[in-house]
Structure 1
């Protein structure tokens, strides 16, 4: 059987449809259909069935998934046989929390590129919950995220990368106008500027102001941490971010910390992968760089 059929089958399972798999593999949909037809013919069994408008795995298709994964893992191992890291040409799919990607990972990525110049990193700035889920379902090789998301049980192996305080920040002007985020039962006419609802930082601060019965004006939801910081510096609102991500602005006096009753609130970064994942030399090199003390 042609190995590319196995890769196609695995991609369909990961992407959830023939159309998405075709886009990822740069195939036409007819090519995907042909390859799966050939695979079904060679195995003498039906792997997919059409339910409504979707192609779903049959019982035989579901049973085949772990065997395909085992074969492709073995093929990947052979590719690294007797190769040193500088010669490796493999790919790594990596999801990284945005604050880590912006402020902690650049030196690691630079060092990895120097160690393995022929490797290809497919990096994605992702929400920590999505990183967790994609590590569990196998669409990511490695994730750098905050373990505060929990919910992965024994499915993932995680290695600590550090614990970081989170602080409430504002411009000096904003702090002068609204210095009190401790007294309960008050309305503060300022915006909270943060990223999407599943942000760990957002969830922690919103829980705090609910418990304090502090009502803010409204929330400005953005995806870019640098943009959030620029708006906060311009006195548009406040934000709640890891201290390392705003340290330069604090040092320059562009941002200041506003005291809260959130004593010693922290996030813990980890480098994680699925417990059943084969650790290639490239993966091991990346993990070692992430977790070096």
Structure 2
């Protein structure tokens, strides 16, 4: 038999071959599979053409395997077992019983998620979850880069082209050195902040800063940065060393470093929307992800 160009092997032909071996005849295989005997014969012939070798020696009363048939028998069982395992895995995935869900979230949202993730994993024991935490910009970039499926953070930069579903508003607070003249006040007026000549802001384009500047502007006030620092952790350190005061989201500012205090603001609306971030090209969420998103909404909207 001449060798032919390799093609796609039909798994039904492997199933038929396995049935012939287990039943000991073409007739037995036809009865087991519910095929006509001619269909069994055609499938064997197609498989022999595909493999470029004869698989059976046909005697008057019984059939025996050729060397090629014996070699195929060694692999056929594993092939069919792998196919059954794959079908079961795909079925589990479709039904939301298995898979990997990747999430990135800001604090304290990441810590709050552990409550629903514990329940989610009990209900879906075959599912794996990867949870990472970081700042809003980092979370947004992880979503945009397809490193995670969903993010929970403040409004992402428009340049990333992500979809944003706000779920709650987080307060932004003033972080001051404990010996600052405004530190003795339980609440600080926005106009007093605007009058300070040592205000530390994050870098231009950061949503913390944009929200703060927009809120002050809407209140008829302007704030000018005496110092710009891209890393919020370094902003906190700068306040701690007495360089000036800063306005940061509560999840970033808390807990305040030693020697500093947190104060709420009045006379300005600078709350930071926090919500779900996804890629617009990610399509409808899988059943598994949809279930988790619903749980997250319920948790964060409460």
Length-normalised TM-score, structure 2: 0.50
Shift of residue 219, structure 1, vs aligned partner: 2.4
Deviation digits for residues 90-143 of structure 1 (CA, Å, limit 9, x no counterpart)? 2233333xxxx2222213135314532650315352544872x66567554112
CA distance in 2, matches of 1:136, 1:216: 30
Structure 2: 5+ residue stretches without partners = 1-6, 9-86
Instruction: For residue 92 of structure 1, give the secondary structure of its aligned residue in structure 2.
Output: strand
What is aligned with 2:24?
Answer: none
CA gap of 1:284–1:193, structure 2 versus 1, over 3 A, is: same
**Preserved contact between residue 183 and residue 263 of structure 2 (Cα < 8 Å):** no
Deviation digits for residues 193-225 of structure 1 (CA, Å, limit 9, x no counterpart)? 54x44321122335577874554432233253x
CA distance in 1, matches of 2:223, 2:93: 57
What is aligned with 1:94?
Answer: 103
CA distance in 2, matches of 1:199, 1:93: 24
Instruction: For residue 102 of structure 1, give the secondary structure of its aligned residue in structure 2.
Output: coil
CA gap of 1:287–1:76, structure 2 versus 1, over 3 A, is: farther
CA gap of 1:248–1:162, structure 2 versus 1, over 3 A, is: same
Cα RMSD of the aligned pairs, angstroms, is 4.6
Shift of residue 281, structure 1, vs aligned partner: 4.1
Shift of residue 169, structure 1, vs aligned partner: 2.5
Larger Rg: 2
What is aligned with 2:206?
Answer: 199
**Preserved contact between residue 144 and residue 279 of structure 2 (Cα < 8 Å):** yes
Structure 2 counterparts to residues 213-252 of structure 1, below 5 A: 214-224=223-233, 228-229=235-236, 231-243=238-250, 245-246=252-253, 249=256
Structure 2 counterparts to residues 31-180 of structure 1, below 5 A: 78-82=91-95, 84=97, 88=98, 90-96=99-105, 101-116=106-121, 118-121=127-130, 123=132, 125-128=134-137, 131=140, 135=143, 138-147=146-155, 149=157, 156=163, 158-176=164-182
Instruction: For residue 232 of structure 1, give the secondary structure of its aligned residue in structure 2.
Output: helix
What is aligned with 1:272?
Answer: 277
Structure 1: 5+ residue stretches without partners = 3-73
**Number of residue-to-residue matches in the alignment:** 205
What is aligned with 2:290?
Answer: 284
CA gap of 1:215–1:241, structure 2 versus 1, over 3 A, is: closer
CA gap of 1:124–1:163, structure 2 versus 1, over 3 A, is: closer
Shift of residue 283, structure 1, vs aligned partner: 1.7
